[in-house]
Amino acid sequence: MATTVDQVTQRRRGTGLIAHDSTLSAGGYTLIAPQTADGHVYLIDIHGQVAHEWKLPVRAGRHAVILPNGNLGYNGNHRESPNLYAPWSMWHGGDFYEVRPDGEVVWRYEDPTHHHDAQWLPNGHLLYAACAPVPQGFAERVPGGTSLAADELMYGDVIREVDRTGRLVWEWKAWEYLEPEDFPIHPGFGRYHWPLVNGLGMAADGTVLMSLRTTSGIIGVDKASGRVKLHIPPSVVSHQHAPVPLENGRVLTFDNGNFRQGAHVAFSRVLEIDPVSHEIAWSYQDEMVNAFYTAFMGSAQRLWNGNTHITESATGRLFEVTPQGELVWEFILPWFGEYPDAAARRTGPGRLNTVFQTWRYQAEQLPWLSR
């Protein structure tokens, strides 16, 4: 009798819980908002079982988090966002929800120009990346990248912070503070978005960390003045995502590795970097380096026991490593689907289990959860 072979390679290799060392893992619950799951958000336990589930009215634009009050903060894909350029449909969010565990929506905010990351701040404000066309004549000053079409605009990043009423309380425009000559676009990227802030982090001293995708590197912006106070350059990182400020003053980041200088294969790694000296204090990469790689998205989270939770986005692979680099937990997302709109499928084709970022939580952060 003939058998049908699953043509989805990632699913054929196995999904769900792959590995778990209960003596070394931090334990807890992992929050997952798959990109192609039609608005489903899953909270899984350490054994890979779904402990709770939400269904949002729009698919995930980017990711979801658990807020300090126990509610879900959700970054949804805005249905009416304009199609600014080719990959925009896959990258944007812009429809934000705060949702109780029972599914009741208690807050909503919309900005169709939002893309990539957003941070739900402790004071209840929302910090997020948006974009707008750069001023006339500015694009000509930006070096590098592939040429713009005659009728194509260059968009620049606008970082915004809004309060609970939706009032704008802070705004930062890349072209007002960055010298374009100092931030050239890598030849492998298009010129439609500069410098493409794909990740944000808020340090305790008010420094806003920004990950620059197309130019590579991480900057830290003084919120009061808007000036750049630190810069981790492309010589240290390679088209990274998710800059996370740590309590020790260092920055944890997911270093994707696109166009990595001096490497004959593409590979990803996670780095803990001193933002002043640029020294790498800790790193993780697979011993067969190209066995761990995602060309887009990705994140890392330092856990309460010192371990690090890692999201290898393109493959839907989540795993946890010890400070010594020993893998102690691994889970492959079993939720596969295509992007529902044709524009997104052109950039991200196929049946995917992709996820932007995932986060691990302790049981005490989820007091409403029936266990």
Within a domain: 4: no
Strand (E) or helix (H) holding 244: strand 241-245
Rounded Cα gap, residues 16 and 330, in angstroms = 8
Q: Give the pLDDT of residue 3.
A: 74
CATH of the domain at 128: 2.120.10.30
Whether pLDDT at 258 is above 80: yes
Q: How many helices (H) and strands (E) does the chain have?
A: 4, 28
What is the predicted pLDDT for the residue at 1?
62
- Domain membership flag for residue 1: no
Examine residue 371 and state whether it is found in any structural domain, yes or no: no
* C-alpha closest to that of 319 among 360, 290, 282: 360
Residue 112, pLDDT score:
97
Would you call 10 helix, strand, or coil by DSSP?
helix
202 domain residue, yes or no: yes
pLDDT at 61 over 80: yes
- What is the C-alpha separation between 157 and 138, in angstroms, rounded? 13
149 pLDDT tier (thresholds 50, 70, 90) = confident
Give CA–CA dist 295/124, Å, rounded: 32
283-341 tens-digit pLDDT:
999 999 999 999 999 999 999 999 999 999 999 999 999 999 999 999 999 999 999 98
Q: Average pLDDT, stretch 221-226?
A: 96
pTM score of the predicted model? 0.97
Where does the pLDDT of residue 150 fall: very low under 50, low under 70, confident under 90, or very high at 90 and above? confident
Count how many domains the chain has.
Answer: 1
- 124 in a domain, yes or no? yes
Residue 3 lies in a domain: no
In a domain, 6, yes or no: no
Whether residue 213 is contained in a domain is answered as yes
Residue 371 pLDDT > 70, yes or no? no
Mean pLDDT of 353-371: 94
Task: Look up the domain containing 202 and give its range.
Answer: 14-365
Q: Are 113 and 158 in contact (CB under 8 A)?
A: yes
